[in-house]
Structure 1
């Protein structure tokens, strides 16, 4: 999920390939020794650092019903309020990582933000108004299945001044995934049954302004909120780009707004409003 970088000057560089076998053996022993103890997150952070450099670590459980749950983060209180609390209040439903895990059910493994974000996501209002507040340059997550309807996301972030994660970073994390995943499941995994929430936030997104919009207009609005561009929406729905623009224009007029920024603000207020 959305994550925030700590001081990049504290970021260790990944070790050389020649040193990796011994270091991974030590990391595996440390993970096994600390599972179920307060020391596990530190051991996990050290092990992940053998794959690539990163600034902050956030571990989240996603479920098919209900908001995500924070399992661990190394953020200060101010950044945690944005990255964890505000995120879980509604914006998570638009997160490409969440969508990849819960909606699209992507295979387990490592994914950079660019691997799963729709075309135009970096220009979307959601990216500008939420992700930018996290002051990160990039995010990469290891998605780990936790039973049939839940995932644990181990999310790494880099600070604004740092380069984006590369395919090599992703491949290194994927190579370590069997060890990391097994340790994470042993420490944070849950085999309890989920209970139905009174109302899932995802369902509320589908219902957003439904009484004011036609089904097609509501569909276009939802895709806009997810960060899709006009060409991407047209391809996804099998429509001409001009038709998508007409639906968007009509939807904005009915909602009394004139921009994507106003749409995002309106949708966020709706998602975060107390349910009756």
Structure 2
């Protein structure tokens, strides 16, 4: 079958799926005509609210780590979501566009990339009247990285994907809303998990959890690297821990009231 015929038929299926339960799967199939990927997790983002689950094809035995834990609070450490919160996201991005300098050494990377044997992730953002769809895509071969050509081809397709999503969610505006978790604020959550920290120490925790090195956190907070080291030492002492992994565990596993 010629590529143009495959694209036309895939496009037709996506159009027919608007307003049906098969829509997300058909849109993903349309996106695969531009870029090969396997894993897919789709959520709807809104500022200061927990993401809403829309779709995923994650294996059942991995859902508690990959999906449930992410939806609980790990999304606050997701570099793509951080870029969205900061208003700096592009319609299509890959991990190297958004990851902090020490991200590959972070516990978030260890759980969500290394344990899944993934080297890369590609994101597609689609703005809707009631939020932004966030497509998180994993390469078909976990050992490979997405190319700039993959990004360019998805950027070319993005207006079509956006138009289809606008039509579908206009017809089905409540899709995914059953998983809404209420308002959440990263700083408030850190203050709850670590109640004895100063405001500056909370800012240091936020930058370290998101994968910034001492030098990067210093630039971010406009202080010296030596000051960051002092803050980190005081944070560990106050919390009774001795490593960033312990800090990550406290953040991830403290039960909400």
- Aligned with 1:269 (options 237, 253, 256): 253
Distance verdict in 2 for CA 1:117–1:29, change over 3 Å? same
- Aligned with 1:137 (options 95, 119, 125): 119
Q: Show CA shifts across 1:85-107 (max 9, x none).
A: 12111111111111112x11235
Q: Which residue of 1 aligns with 2:54?
A: 71
Q: Which residue of 2 aligns with 1:119?
A: 101
Q: Partners in 1 of 2:137 and 2:253 — Cα distance? A: 28
- Aligned with 2:35 (options 24, 34, 52): 52
Measured on the aligned residues, the alpha-carbon RMSD in Å equals 2.5
Shift of 1:224: 0.5
Distance verdict in 2 for CA 1:179–1:198, change over 3 Å? closer
Q: Which residue of 2 aligns with 1:177?
A: 158
Q: Which residue of 2 aligns with 1:91?
A: 74
Shift of 1:133: 3.1
Kept in 1: contact 2:50–2:182 (CA 8 A): no
Q: Show CA shifts across 1:52-86 (max 9, x none).
A: 11111111111223321111111221122222212
Q: Which residue of 2 aligns with 1:200?
A: 184
Q: Which residue of 2 aligns with 1:221?
A: 205
The yes-or-no answer on 1:230 pairing with 2:214 is yes
When structure 1 is superposed on structure 2, of 250-259 and 131-140 the one drifting more is 131-140
Q: Partners in 2 of 1:50 and 1:159 — Cα distance? A: 13
Shift of 1:141: 0.8
* Unaligned residue ranges in structure 2 (runs of 5+): none
- Aligned with 1:106 (options 80, 85, 88): 88
What TM-score does the superposition give when structure 1 sets the normalisation length? 0.82
Which secondary structure state, in structure 2, belongs to the residue aligned with residue 138 of structure 1? Answer: coil
Shift of 1:266: 1.0
Shift of 1:256: 0.8
Which secondary structure state, in structure 1, belongs to the residue aligned with residue 138 of structure 2? Answer: strand
Which secondary structure state, in structure 2, belongs to the residue aligned with residue 134 of structure 1? Answer: coil
Kept in 1: contact 2:79–2:99 (CA 8 A): yes
Q: Partners in 2 of 1:30 and 1:184 — Cα distance? A: 14
Q: Partners in 2 of 1:187 and 1:82 — Cα distance? A: 29
Shift of 1:128: 1.4
- Aligned with 1:40 (options 3, 23, 37): 23
Q: Which residue of 2 aligns with 1:211?
A: 195
Q: Show CA shifts across 1:194-215 (max 9, x none).
A: 9x97651535334245531121
* Unaligned residue ranges in structure 1 (runs of 5+): 1-14
